[in-house]
Amino acid sequence: MDTLLLSRIQFGANISFHILFPTITIALGWVLLFFKLRFNATGEIKWMDAYRFWVKVFALSFAMGVVSGITMSFQFGTNWPGFMETVGNIAGPLLAYEIMTAFFLEAVFLGIMLFGFSRVPGWLHTLATFLVAFGTTMSAFWILVLNSWMHTPEGFEMRNGVAFATDWWAIIFNPSMPYRLVHMLLASGLTVAFLIAGFSAFRWLRGDQGRDVRAGLKTGLMLGAVLIPIQIFAGDMHGLNTLKYQPQKVAAMEGNWETDTNVPLLLFAIPDEEARENRMEIAIPNGASLILTHKADGEVPGLNDFVTPEGEVMHPPVAPVFYAFRIMVGTGMAMLLLSWASVAIMARRRDVGALPRPMLFVMVPMAFSGWVATLAGWYTTEIGRQPWLVQGVLTTEMAVADVPAPFVGTTLVAYLAIYALLLSAYVFVLFYLAAKAGKGEQIRLRVPQPGEAIARQVPAE
Amino acid sequence: MELFGDPGQWLPLTFAGLMGLSILIYVVLDGFDLGVGVLFPFADDGEKDMMVASIGPFWDANETWLVLAVGLLLVAFPTAHGAILTALYLPVAVMLIGLILRGVAFEFRVKAPTPHKRAWNTAFFVGSLMTSLAQGYMLGLYIMGLEQSWATWAFGALTAVFLTVGYSFIGATWLILKTSDVLQAKAVQWARGGIWGLVLGLGAISLASPLVSDRIWDKWFSVPEIFALAPLPLMSVALVVLLWLALRRLPTSDDSWAWFPFVASIVLFTLAFFGLAYSFYPYVVPDQLTIYEAASAPESLFIILVGTCVVLPMIGGYTVLAYTVFRGKAQELRYD
């Protein structure tokens, strides 16, 4: 394999591993703040117990996100120097603002949030929790600004092959940014909703049916049920935005080869890029036209429009985009079904305990449904941008480093091994913590008075 | 932008200064927590917990300075960023894997089942060691002008060892400050053992950098520079002597002066850093690319600078808050 392909696999592996953890921490920070505020308001211990369990998951996820994020900041330079050399004048300030307004904020206050409970006044601990949640969200904002700009670049001009910023407002609020940001924040919310529901269900099934588990199950399922319809709507809007600015991506998502009206919605197909056609199509007539143009005879762009007369393919590889999109949508539908059905049962019977056991069993693997949908969604949009790195400005091939392929190959194997190890360890420890909390090994806490710090004894000098 | 003259001149200089500041803060702050990791095998299990407790609330923010430093290199000097990082491809990968291992080990060692704790302790040590060695190696190669040859690799290996010893030294001085009793006494022993490595490291770098480059030689050894610069090495020697004397008397019965080795180490690192910065200015890639040639467009630098002026004092402020909240001797880390 050549350096380009190896570098792409390496960056893809890295960013796939990385995104799993911010997806959790962005929303979990806010959920923790919610638990904390509920405890402050009601004084009910179940909220603090829920906080105490999920803050461990937060700390672990945060560490995983930090270390894999550091890796990426270096790989820009080691593997993709052409990226910063060409668009550094735009990407640079955005990354700098992310580091300065988000990374330091979350990193510093994380220490106080995790270990400062008995060292600082209650209000400062709540403030630290807020600032960590705020920091993770700011971080998501800046990085999605940059990512969206790579899809829909605006507010710049090219001089001697280098991009120069002309309008920062247009750069930051580029056409796809609002959609992508909302779509990702909702994805994070859903990931956390199902994570909390799933692990609460796991604890429930193991006989740990305390009030904090009840509260977790209810919070997770309610959050999921509220967010999923909003997400489906936001996703649809994002798709329409993509149709306008990156029609070749939508063509790949729909598996549509020829620009046409009355295009069917393909539920399943095997796209064959060699023959430039689909095999084994299962389709709903006019479906794609209806979804994308809201008219049965609306026109949907086709992939064949994005092949130059010389035969150069300027559209993304079809099959991965096509499948990834279907996995994302399918997972979303499963989320909708599960959350609405369970909330309906809880509402009817007015009791979390009324949820049937098979449903709880389904919730456990669904704890990671957010990861599946998020990864599939990112694969759709990022592979869908190929062959461009920055749409219309810079191809991925132009940005790759002149590093010997064996170097990239060796480090790739090392990264993959360590990611596999860490991911297994992470999932294992999550289940271990949940099981341990269920055995009642968790120390019942010393109840702090809200707004009052407890002096801790200093170990003997 | 025209306020201070040509922005093509003062902006690159300002950003080189900011980047240098981030690197210095990183080397001091992550230096001590990497050093604590390197010292792990010398401690027993209870001491290991206390050592981690002394750095637990800080390590994440400490590492963020590395992200800021490489971020500034990336945003302010994009061509240099590419040139340096592709030349250092493999050591960077080693460092990153080390950082990953130690970063997650912090969490896993206390959250995984007890039988796994030993393995995560090992990961914490190995990760810290890999990171320190890789950084030392990169420092050596950078001093050698990023040339690849047996001689430069050998020098890189040398600086790898010395920087690791240097980190473990400042780590030991941090433990003297933050711990008590048996562990504190042990930390004094570790610091005594590490000070020689520090002296050799500083000596090797001071000797090698002027010998490698005529330009650096001239910057240090011509008149009148040699007199103006003399305080730098003299102060370093004086500090080393003071450190050596202090370490012979510590720990004191009333814990007075426990702060001194750590503070003196910071000053020593700072002096060494200024020496290096003076040697290499105005180059960002040694003898190939100056900060002025490598700089981004002034418009982009200016927009970052505006933000920096607002945000950096805030970062400073809440960093001080964190160190104030967790001041005094380290305590067991708990979430409640």
A367-394 pLDDT per residue, tens = 999 999 999 999 999 998 988 889 888 8
Q: Contact, B201 vs B159, CB < 8 A?
A: yes
**pLDDT at residue number B3:** 63
- List Cβ neighbours of B120 (8 Å cut-off, separation of 6 or more): B105, B108, B109, B112
More confident residue, A118 or A15: A15
pLDDT above 50 for A460: no
What percentage of residues in chain A have a pLDDT greater than 70? Answer: 95
Q: CA A245, CA A247: separation in Å to the nearest integer?
A: 6
Contacts with B64 from chain A: Cβ below 8 Å: 99, 103-104, 107
Evaluate whether residue B155 is within a structural domain. yes
**pLDDT at residue number A441:** 47
Q: Contact, B145 vs B98, CB < 8 A?
A: no
Q: Report the residue of chain B nearest A409, measured CA to CA.
A: B90
Domain that holds residue B230: 9-325
For tokens 């890295």, the residue is A14
Mean pLDDT of A27-37: 92
pLDDT above 90 for A230: yes
pLDDT above 50 for A457: no
Q: If you average pLDDT over every residue of chain A, what do you get?
A: 86
Q: CA A187, CA A231: separation in Å to the nearest integer?
A: 7
Contacts with B326 from chain A: Cβ below 8 Å: 111, 115-116, 119
**pLDDT at residue number B296:** 80
**pLDDT at residue number A443:** 44
Size of the A and B interface in Cβ pairs below 8 Å: 236
Interface touch B318/A108, C-beta < 8 Å: yes
Q: Report the residue of chain B nearest A435, measured CA to CA.
A: B113
Q: If pLDDT is split at 50, 70 and 90, which confidence band does A440 have?
A: low
Evaluate whether residue B152 is within a structural domain. yes
Q: Report the residue of chain A nearest B85, measured CA to CA.
A: A78
Evaluate whether residue B201 is within a structural domain. yes
**pLDDT at residue number A456:** 38
Mean pLDDT of A283-306: 84
Q: Contact, B175 vs B183, CB < 8 A?
A: yes
Evaluate whether residue B117 is within a structural domain. yes
pLDDT above 70 for A453: no
Q: Which amino acid is at A207?
A: G
**pLDDT at residue number A438:** 67
Most confident option among A293-307, A316-330, A346-360, B52-66: A316-330
Evaluate whether residue B270 is within a structural domain. yes
Question: In chain B, which stretches have pLDDT less than 50?
Answer: none
Contacts with A403 from chain B: Cβ below 8 Å: 86, 89
Q: Contact, A403 vs A78, CB < 8 A?
A: yes
When CB atoms are compared, the residue of A84, A97, A461 closest to B78 is A84
- Picking from A36, A87, A115, A139 by the largest number of B CB atoms within 10 A of its own CB, the best residue to mutate is A115
Q: Tell me if chain A has a CB within 8 Å of the CB of B298.
A: no
**pLDDT at residue number A73:** 79
Evaluate whether residue B336 is within a structural domain. no
**pLDDT at residue number A178:** 93
Q: Per the structure, how many domains does chain B have?
A: 1
Q: CA B181, CA A120: separation in Å to the nearest integer?
A: 26
Sign of the torsion angle spanned by Cα atoms B321, B322, B327, B333: positive
pLDDT digits (tens, 9 = 90+) for A134-161: 999 999 999 999 999 999 999 888 888 8
Q: If pLDDT is split at 50, 70 and 90, which confidence band does A422 have?
A: very high
Evaluate whether residue B331 is within a structural domain. no
Q: Contact, A302 vs A259, CB < 8 A?
A: yes
Q: Tell me if chain A has a CB within 8 Å of the CB of B72.
A: yes
Of A102, A76, A72, whose CA–CA distance to A91 is shortest? A76
